[in-house]
Amino acid sequence: MTTKTAKPVAYSVIRAEARKPVADRQAIVVGRDGEKRVPRRYDLDKKQIVELRKNADSDFPNPFRSGGVYHGAMQALINLGIDKGHTFKDVKSEMQKVMSKIERQDTDAWSLFANRPAKKDAKAPKDLNGRIMQTFTVLQRLTGNHRYGMKIAQLLACIDILAGKDSQPLYMLHTGFKQWNLVKPTNDLKRLRRKGAKPKAKAKA
């Protein structure tokens, strides 16, 4: 006996539902386990965009909630300099500076994130560095039901992951797009993995 798979819901429908007050939202998004879930809101309205730009402390506004890892990742790239590639070491260090100043749950936002235990059902638990890298990959999402990068795109920007020296990642807040629907994040490392990286030659003693 075959079971029918649920028909995917158009993102326009999901977005409309997500814009309602939380208490009024209906479970319409089908999760990985097949159960329907209440949609989260990933976009900004025009008023929010105007307010963000007006109240920004820097040249580029941070659209994410203060204290969260997305806010910390975004603020790190803003502080280090937009439209420039930054090493993982520098980005991680700046994230720690930003998030350590924010008090949360009798400690600070960085300590909460850095010391958070892995999920019990995680198939491949990641260490701190792995979770930071995954955060930037998640913030590139502009398709599917979970468009974490939409707020950045609405500000005419995206996060690029570039291949630096020896294919080490460089993270850049790429700005200056003319329209949000023209925003397309770059991930050089994903492209290199897809093609298959060549083995490095052994160094001579």
**Pairing label, strands 103-104, 107-108:** antiparallel
Q: Are residues 30 and 109 in the same domain?
A: no
Same domain, 53 and 17: no
**Confidence (pTM):** 0.85
Do the Cβ atoms of 159 and 185 come closer than 8 Å?
A: yes
Q: Is residue 1 part of a domain?
A: no
102 and 18, same domain (yes or no): no
Q: Does residue 203 lie in a domain region?
A: no
pLDDT mean across residues, the chain? 88
The string of pLDDT tens digits covering residues 180-199 is: 999 999 999 887 766 655 54
Contact 65/71 with Cβ under 8 angstroms? yes
The pLDDT value recorded for residue 203 is 41
Q: Domain range for residue 191? A: 42-195
Taking only the tens place, the pLDDT of each residue in 123-182 is 777 899 999 999 999 999 999 989 999 999 999 999 999 999 888 999 999 999 999 999
Out of 20-29, 105-114, 156-165, 178-187, which region has the weakest mean confidence (pLDDT)? 20-29
Q: Indicate if 29 and 69 belong to the same structural domain.
A: no
Same domain, 90 and 158: yes
* pLDDT at residue 35 is higher than 90: no
